[in-house]
Every structure is written in structure tokens, then in C-alpha cells.
Amino acid sequence: MAVPAANFRMQVIAINEGLKKIERKDTILLQDNRNKIMSVVLPAYNEEAMLLKTAETLKKILQKEKIEYELVFVDDGSKDSTWKRIEEAAGADCQVRGVHFSRNFGKEAAIFAGLASASGDCVAVMDCDLQHPPAALVEMYRLWEEGYEVVEGVKKSRGKESALHRASAGMFYKLMSKATSIDMSRASDFKLLDRRAVEVLLEMPERNAFFRAMSSWIGFQSTTVEFDVQEREAGESKWSTKSLIQYAITNIVGYSAAPMQVVTGAGVVVFLLGIVLGIQTLIRYFSGHAVEGFTTVILLLLLLGSIIMISLGIIGYYISRIYEEVKGRPRYIISKRI
């Protein structure tokens, strides 16, 4: 009696295996036949003037190019009627989605929230003010179709800026390029990433993310698309000099321990100076004309005091950043979705 039962079991297993094979083939066919969707993530902070125009322009261009799309607007806690505009855009087009933050968390947080909400096979990130030309977006999509997994927009020209802004941006990017060993001088947040690259970025746990550098750091097969920064048609730039300096410091510290090595460097310099001065003082003492007066002491105290304070400040800043990371608070808080 045992033999037929075993036979029967073997047959059942064979049938199951066959069914699984058919099922696998079907899913592969389904995946291949399905049209690829591009998600476009648009961080928006006080962009009521530009929002509908941006949605409309993107829709027109992508439809013309027969690219299936999804627009993900992330309202970074705007104080104007940006969210209302997003609701209007979503009402007019089912391809538009919106995420609303409980307060302003910054552009980086908005980008990451957009990446997490996007469902496309590839995800592009662009500014909500049309300063990143939509034509370049189409070019990026075509490159992605050719098999590139990370397509980075690089600035051919920086658009209109003051000389001071240009000079400080230049210095910031020089430091950042050193810190990350990636050429950042023309980098922008205008990028298109394959789903795989997006998953990798979303798995990176750091609170203080710097999208521009992280998307290059992850590697993958990448290429670049050059674009000219357009002029802002309406609304205004959200960056004040203070916020740009803050942004530069945050990102340099987030990416590099070089400032701490500066502390060591300063220590070495002071030590060498100490040896020279020490020898000179001793020689003068033994030759009968000892250094006099408080002037030398005061100068030395001031010099040492300031170097020690600056060094403590640098180390303290790193400790505060470790503290921020250890707290493990969320990068952003979403209060509404549409």
C-alpha cells in the first residue's frame, strides 16, 4: 500500500512545481508588458505662485513624450496656500500626489519623504520652481531607459547670482569635494534614480542626509546630463545667507572629520612655536637678558585661549551631531497626504 501513496505524493509535487513555473513566467511577462512609470518628486516650500504652473508644464511635456508619470509634491510645512494648490492639482489630475509636513523640515527631508512615497520604477527629484528645465528631465528618462541607474543633473551655468554668493558657493563645493572625494562643483539636487538606487538611499539611517552627495556616493551605473539653471519666474529663493552658511557647516560636518584634524594641526603648530619660543627664552635667560614684562604672557594666553576655545567648539559641534543622530528622531513628520 505504501508504494502508490509515495507515487501520488511525487505526482502532487511535480504538478505544484509546474504550476509555480507557469506562475513565475506570468509575472515576468506581466512585469515586461507593464509600462514603466516615472515618479517626479518636487519639494515645495511656500511655492503657491509656481505650483500649478509646474504641475501643468510637467504634465504637458511628459504626456507629449508618452512617458507614464506620477508627480509627488512634498509641502515642507509651507506658510502660504501651497497645500491648497497641491490639492487643486491632485483634483485635476489623478497622477498628482501630495505629502504635507507638520512643519518646515528642510529640503533634504522633503526629498527623502518624496522618495519614500514615490512608487515609480524610476524616481526623479527636481525643484518646484522650474529652475530645473523639464526638457532635461526627458533626457534623463531616456538615459534611464538605456540602462543607467543614476542620472545626475550637472549645472552648465549657475544662473543669476551675486558675486559673493558665487564665491562662497565655490568655496563650499571645494570643501565638500575634498570631504566626499566626489566632484561637487557643479552638482545639483536634480537627479533621476532607478528604483534600486532609491531603495538603497532609503535604507541609509542617518538623520542629517545630504541627498546631493549621497546619491553619488552609492555608486551604481551613472551618467550626467548638463542643464542651464533657469531664472525663477515667481516666488523667491528660500535661502538667506545665514541659512546657506548653516547648510554648508551641517553638510561639511556631516560628511567629513577634516575640521577635527584641523584641531590636531593647530595643536602641532602651537607645539612647534612653543619649542622655538622656549629655546629663545632660555637662551636669553642664561645670557643675562631674561624676557620681561607681562606683554609676552598676555599675548601667549590670548593665543592659546582662542585656539583651545575654537577647538572645543569644533569638537562640541561633532558631539552635538552625534547626540542628534543617537536620539533617532524621525527625519520628518507627515501630517496629511492626498
Residues that bind ligand UDP (CB under 6 A): 43-45, 47, 76, 104, 106-107, 110, 127-129, 131, 237-239
Per-residue CA distances from 263 to 174, 194, 254, 316, 318 (Å): 20, 41, 17, 12, 12
Instruction: Find the shortest distance in angstroms from Cβ 17 to ligand UDP.
Output: 52
Per-residue CA distances from 122 to 137, 148, 149, 266, 311 (Å): 12, 11, 8, 47, 44
110 interface partner picked from Mg ion, ligand UDP, none, CB below 5 to 8 A per type: ligand UDP
Nearest to Mg ion of 121, 129 (CB atom):
129
Among the listed residues 203, 19, 32, 41, the one whose alpha carbon sits nearest the alpha carbon of residue 110: 41
Instruction: Find the shortest distance in angstroms from Cβ 284 to ligand UDP.
Output: 58
70 interface partner picked from Mg ion, ligand UDP, none, CB below 5 to 8 A per type: none
Instruction: Find the shortest distance in angstroms from Cβ 60 to ligand UDP.
Output: 19
Among the listed residues 137, 111, 121, the one whose alpha carbon sits nearest the alpha carbon of residue 58: 137
48 interface partner picked from Mg ion, ligand UDP, none, CB below 5 to 8 A per type: none
Per-residue CA distances from 290 to 184, 272, 293, 295 (Å): 54, 21, 10, 13
- CA torsion sign, 262 to 267 to 268 to 269? positive
107 interface partner picked from ligand UDP, Mg ion, none, CB below 5 to 8 A per type: ligand UDP
134 interface partner picked from ligand UDP, Mg ion, none, CB below 5 to 8 A per type: none
108 interface partner picked from ligand UDP, Mg ion, none, CB below 5 to 8 A per type: none
Nearest to Mg ion of 120, 134 (CB atom):
134
Q: DSSP H helical segments within 93-207, as ranges?
A: 107-117, 134-145, 163-180, 195-203
Instruction: Find the shortest distance in angstroms from Cβ 174 to ligand UDP.
Output: 18
Instruction: Find the shortest distance in angstroms from Cβ 127 to ligand UDP.
Output: 4
CA dihedral 99, 104, 108, 109 (to 10 degrees): -50
Nearest to Mg ion of 120, 133 (CB atom):
133
Nearest to ligand UDP of 48, 194 (CB atom):
48
